[in-house]
Structure formats: C-alpha cells, structure tokens
Structure 1
C-alpha cells in the first residue's frame, strides 16, 4: 500500500540492519560497481554502510539522455545476486509521475482539459455533495478532498502476488454510493481547497486515463511512453517482472534484516510500477528536458513545464514547499528541488529534477525507509547534482 512517505520516515527510531550477521552489511561485502571507483562511488558505499542498505541503484539524467546508471550491493542477499543497471526495483509512489504523464498526454491530444470535471468520464457516481466538482487538476495535485482515513485502516494489499481486487472495484467500494467503504462519502473537503495526499485519487486517475484512452492505462503507457523511450525493463505487475531481475525487498526486524514478500495492491496507478535504473532515469531525462528525450517527444514543452509549476495549497505538508502535477518540491542541499519519493515494504526510492539545467537523479533501494536511509539517499542525490 503506497503511503505518504514521510509518515513512515520521520517517526522511525534508529535501528541497525543485519544485526544478526556481523552487526551490519560491511563495506567489504558490497560488490563494487562495474566501473572505475571515484569519489561518488566512495560516498555511495559509505552511505550504504551507514544506512545498512542491501542494494542501491543510482542514475543521472542530463540533456534528455541517461548520463550514467550505476549499481551497488545486492538484489538478493541470500543468493549473493548483485544489483545491475537492469535490475527492476519496485519504484512505489514515483509511479504517480508516470500516471500524471499519461494524463497530460491526453491533455496534449485534446482529449481532456485539466480543469474539466472528471464525473462525465466515469461509469459510476462519486458520493458526496462536493464530489461532482472534482477536476483532473485536483486529482493530480492531491486537492480533490478525498480522505484516506479508511484507506489506511484497511489492508487492500496482496502479499507475494499482484492484487486480486481490480482497480474499478476498489474505486466503487471506496467512492460510489453504497460502496463497501464509502459510508457517507470519502470526499471530506471542498475540492481544490485543501491538500491531502491521495493514493485513491491516483487510482482514480489511472482508471480515468484508461477510459479516455480507450485502453488500459498500463497498455497505453507501454505503447506511448515505455517503448518509444526504450524502457525495456519496466513492468506494471509482479507477475511481469522476471525473477532474475527482481530485487528482494527487505525490512528491519529486531535490528536484523529480513526479506519480506512484495506487495500487490489494486490502485496500481498510485504505486505498482517496477523499473530498472536505466529505464527510470530515461523517463526522468525526458521530464527534466521539457518532455523530450533524444528524438522522442512524449509531452509538449508547455505541459511538461506545467507539471513542474509549484503551488502551495492550504494544508500542504511541512516537509514540502510546493505541489505540482504529481511532482512535489522540497529542499535538497538547501535548494528547492522538484522531486518525488516512494516507499512500500522493502523499498525506498527518490527522484529529483533540475529542469533549469536539464538534469535529474534517480535512487532506488530495496530496504524499507528509515531515517538513516532518507539522509543517505538525499546526501547521494545532492552529491550527484553537485559533481555533475
């Protein structure tokens, strides 16, 4: 279940990984990256040791291309299988930036407008007096007024496999009148007036994009984003992720690392994507380069820029300084930076953009978020921007 990541990070106590096997994953046990060591390599290996991260991949995007994609540590500790640039990590909530891109492609194509109400495009009614005023922009900016209190009280996940509950059934159960979890309605504030991070909102966007495009959004993104950009190691499901490329997710239990099963959840457009560092860095390269990578234009420059235009809606979380269309803004090395994080059991991910310099950095790890890993990944991201 994809959650507002910072809820998971800031409240964590200091814990050590692999306490039962030598008090941690020592630097000497980390396989070196398949390229010459440099200062960045040294920093990454040091930060992995401090944060006790089993496996990590780092990518730099520059001028619409992948400048580098580096890999460190282990995709699976028991098998001693190293991370490679083709290893497919669960990217968790960074998925939302892909969903938002698909929606903006439909805007580009003239199929919808950002400030149109979504109700005419649905085959069910959203309960609540204010629900009819929800627009695509509201959903993209987490200002649709959808409460997720019930969402976080209910475990919709399937452990070890893709979810059996479909996205449309989840949305009907949660939003439609008479739905299993609807109650008097889960739209609790007037749309457009208050920020509240919403996985259900992005589930709804995925469902809407599919209806408007006339095909499942996962097929749409495969045909119109992944294939044109050469993203060959990207999947929407656990089942479609080859076992030899999948990372094992890890959590911390009683000061020791423990493997945990991957999780599947029905609101896949909020956080189910799997991607290699090469592939996700290629996607970020396109976003940071005004919607174009190489000779492939995915988004118009105007709509690519609009996705990164930040606003400060009421109720915006204190760790953010802006909210765009999926992309958010917070400080990196003292500089406000567009970014998105992701976190689920056994995974912690970050992507940062510097559109002024047409650069981006991506970090993927296979350990649940901790305070130490948050600091480690931010330090690495800042170093990549500084040195490149």
Structure 2
C-alpha cells in the first residue's frame, strides 16, 4: 500500500513538473493601458467568445460596450443589447415573481409547498418533513441537484410542462421517482446543497398560485412594465440569430492527452490552473441554452431601477432586497433567499 502511494505521489509530481515545463498562456491583460485593451486580452486569456458590460452610477447607465462575438462562426459581434443566456442568474428573477405574490398575500414563505403544488413531493428518507419556499431559496430543502443536458431541446422550448416534469422525478407516483433518488438524506433547513431541481419546484409553486406559466406571468408583471422587450423565458419569442450562441469550451494541454471543458468544472479547474495551456489549444462548440436570455441593458432595468424605485408594488426596494437577501449560513456558505446563483 505504501509503495503504491509513493508511486502515485511520484507520478503526480512528475505531471506537475511536466506541466510547468509545457507552453503556458501568457497573462498580460492586467497590464493593459486601456479598459478596452484589457477586455480584449482578457477574453483571449480566458477563452471567452464574447462579453458585454453595463456600468451604472446612481441608477443611470454611464457606459456600455460589447466585446468579442455573439456568434463566433458568423462573426456576429457582441453588443450591450444582445440577449445572453443568464443561466443560474435567472433564479433571482424567479425570486422577484415569488416575492410579488408573497407581498400580495397569495403565498407564504414558511408553509409546506405541497399546499400550493398540483402534485405531492415527499422525501421517502424522512418523516413529516416540510419543504418551504424559504428552504428552496436557501438551497437547504433536501432536494438534490439534477439536470440532464440530453433532455434539452436544441433551439426550442421544453415540450413537457414544468409540473409534469417535476412530478415524474419527485412525486412518489412519478415515472422517474426511483425510490426518491433525487432527494438527500438531510432534513429541510439542515444543510446547503445547490439544487436546480429545487428552483424548478419554486417555479411550479409560482405557476400554480398565479394560474399561468412562469413565462406568461413574468412577461405580464415584470418584463413588459420595465420595457424589457428582448427578455423572455421562451426561446420561441426570439428571432433567428438573435440570441448569443452559448459555447462549451474545451482546452487541452500540449503534448499530453489531457483535456477538460466547461461541463467538467472540477477537472477544468485543474487543467486551467495547474497547466494553464495556451488558449490557442482551446476549442469552442455551441451548446444548449437553458434558463432566461436577456440583454445586459435589461439587467440594469430589473436591478438598478427596481432598487431605487419606490412608487409602485412592482419596483419597491423592499421586494428587490428581500429577493436577494441572505437567509443565513449553512456549512459555511451564505445562502441567498433570492435564489442566488
């Protein structure tokens, strides 16, 4: 056993030394003389196809710019008005809808979500547990993380309704319940475990209480009132070549059969930080969209304007702050009640 450990340690040390001897990416962005030069170099160093920024001061946009490409193959430039997939940053947007319903007295944060759902969720490992919106928001609900990229539909909206999809996975009568395979052993509120599936349950609660889809509800109550004309939960609402292409970036170490991509975060971290291969060895290929696409300038509307406005129920400071507030610490990690990414 000791000999095996020594051999493994020697191999690991040899790999590290070899990695140090291999060509590495030059990092010069920090020494750029202008911000535009910094951004251009940073995109190259980090193998990012495109990015857009919006700078807000006192609730007003003072600068916006796009860098790189929204579509690398078509050389379509990125702009501040290019709709970009927000991925998990969509969760605070969902939080805005839930807090609106809460302020209207239509749902409570600390009651069992089965009160609202059209199906029943139940962790077979526990007795008498109550999963609430607050524990869902804090990622302490006891629902495990789950998503399957193979189930995504390329360039189209999901064919199955949200409540049906969740019932299949989480309801004891669901076709894919698998003896509660998607639940954890911890009781709600005990431990933090990031859960996209839990956020989906919160979305189903919103749809049940509002009696309309999440997409329709937030289009009517949030996006349209704020003039967010290029924001929607539905891919079908966007025209051809309107969205920024979402890329999966793969990088390989020179001379070594060692590759990783953005779908392998832990291994990707090792390859990028230990070996730091030149970005010319990186490859980008389109991948599937998920969550809500919107533009950087629209994010300013939902953020800065909602924060400062106090003249209506939609944009009250209290709603935005509660949607992004911290609900406590679990396992050393602060847990945003606003579905923090």
Bin for the TM-score computed over the shorter chain: 0.7 to 0.9
Larger radius of gyration: 2
**SS state of the match for residue 189, structure 2?**
coil
Instruction: Answer yes or no: is 1:323 the counterpart of 2:318.
Output: no
Instruction: Find the counterpart in structure 1 of residue 330 from structure 2.
Output: 314
Instruction: Answer yes or no: is 1:85 the counterpart of 2:80.
Output: yes
Distance 2:144 2:45 in 1: 37
Instruction: Find the counterpart in structure 1 of residue 219 from structure 2.
Output: 222
| Structure with greater proportional strand content | 1
Distance 2:330 2:89 in 1: 23
Mind listing any 5+ residue stretches in structure 1 that lack a counterpart? 1-12, 14-22, 28-37, 264-270, 329-339, 341-388
Aligned residue among 279, 299, 316 for 1:300: 316
User: Relative to 1, partners in 2 of residues 1:276 and 1:98: Cα closer, same or farther, differing over 3 Å?
Assistant: same
Mind listing any 5+ residue stretches in structure 2 that lack a counterpart? 1-15, 17-24, 253-280
Residue 237 of structure 1: CA displacement? 2.4
Structure 1 length-normalised TM: 0.65
Instruction: Find the counterpart in structure 2 of residue 363 from structure 1.
Output: none
**SS state of the match for residue 221, structure 1?**
helix
Distance 2:103 2:57 in 1: 24
User: Relative to 1, partners in 2 of residues 1:121 and 1:146: Cα closer, same or farther, differing over 3 Å?
Assistant: same
Q: Number of residue pairs matched?
A: 282
**SS state of the match for residue 64, structure 2?**
strand
Residue 123 of structure 1: CA displacement? 1.4
Aligned residue among 183, 190, 207 for 1:187: 183
Instruction: Answer yes or no: is 1:273 the counterpart of 2:289.
Output: no
Distance 2:76 2:148 in 1: 36
- The 5-angstrom pairing of residues 42-53 of structure 1 reads 42-53=37-48
Distance 1:249 1:323 in 2: 27
- The 5-angstrom pairing of residues 330-349 of structure 1 reads 340=341
Instruction: Find the counterpart in structure 1 of residue 283 from structure 2.
Output: 257
Aligned residue among 43, 57, 61 for 2:56: 61
Per-residue CA deviation, residues 354-377 of structure 1 (Å, 9 max, x unaligned), is xxxxxxxxxxxxxxxxxxxxxxxx
Distance 1:67 1:296 in 2: 25
Aligned residue among 240, 243, 246 for 1:246: 243
Instruction: Find the counterpart in structure 2 of residue 379 from structure 1.
Output: none
Contact map agreement 2:96 2:319 (CA 8 A) in 1: no
Residue 179 of structure 1: CA displacement? 1.6
Contact map agreement 1:60 1:68 (CA 8 A) in 2: yes
Contact map agreement 2:118 2:208 (CA 8 A) in 1: no
Distance 2:297 2:134 in 1: 30
Distance 1:72 1:296 in 2: 36
| Structure with greater proportional helix content | 2
Instruction: Find the counterpart in structure 2 of residue 74 from structure 1.
Output: 69
Instruction: Find the counterpart in structure 2 of residue 99 from structure 1.
Output: 94
Residue 327 of structure 1: CA displacement? 5.0
User: Relative to 1, partners in 2 of residues 1:45 and 1:296: Cα closer, same or farther, differing over 3 Å?
Assistant: farther
Residue 160 of structure 1: CA displacement? 3.9
Contact map agreement 2:248 2:285 (CA 8 A) in 1: yes
Contact map agreement 2:86 2:294 (CA 8 A) in 1: yes
Structure 2 length-normalised TM: 0.74
